[in-house]
Structure 1
Amino acid sequence: MRVPVKKRSKSRSGNSSLKRTLIEAARAAAHTKNTYLSAKYRRIAARRGGNRAALALAHTILIITYNIIKNKIPYQDLGPDYFNKLNESAIVKRSTKFLNSLGYKVVKE
């Protein structure tokens, strides 16, 4: 039997003002519609909860901001369907299997 690895439950210490600001920005970004950041928030929140998803999104915003400043390029949103495009074949396979289990016959074209 394989024992699951427990993920860290505490974030590392750092600039508390920056952390508060980034989490506030992350919560605002999570409420936007049809953006990469809102899609990422929903994916993480479904698995780990809203607070951890906000912290993860704050980290993503920090990384994006760093790359914008470092490379001097404008931000380009990847879009809300970025994760669906990333695993398109897995989504098709999972959906086909689900519909077959309900009794439907699915034919791929």
Structure 2
Amino acid sequence: MVQERARELNRIQKVLEGANIKLSSVVSEIDGKSSRDMLTMLAAGCNDAKAMANKARRQMRKKIPQLEEALHGFMGEHQRLMLDSMLKHIDFLESHILLLDKEIHEKMEPVSEQITLIDSIPGIGERSAQVIIAEIGTNMNQFPSAAHLASWAGICPGNNESAGKPAREAIF
């Protein structure tokens, strides 16, 4: 669902480009609160770039002149309908992502201590720690050594060479 949400945001960006609206060139996040307010106004039929730019919050208020320029474009009725539909789909996905996150958190509560330990490894976040626990469990007795665990997980380094020379992978 997170990936689908990202795809939907890309579709919104494509609709905006088709309408010659360059919002993403000014804002850092097309799915931020200020951007969302502006997109909602666009979907509702607003053509007033100044009014939409005034929806900017906090740090983005400094960019109001650039926002006004970026929001000048022409959005047809079909594009508005598509934008509205995409925004509603994102809302649906976000509500379900929150629901699933809550469910995952509840199911992982019994192993929260192990998740915290794995999360303390640099480069591994809470979600990755949850996935690791879900995949291999907490009983490491099933693996005779750390190398066996790494092999089972498919993260063993390979040594592909022939006649003492490193083998090159084929590029297709």
TM-score, length of structure 1 as denominator length: 0.34
Q: Which has the higher contact order (CA 8 A, sep 6+)?
A: 1
TM-score (norm 2): 0.25
Larger-gyration structure (1/2) = 2
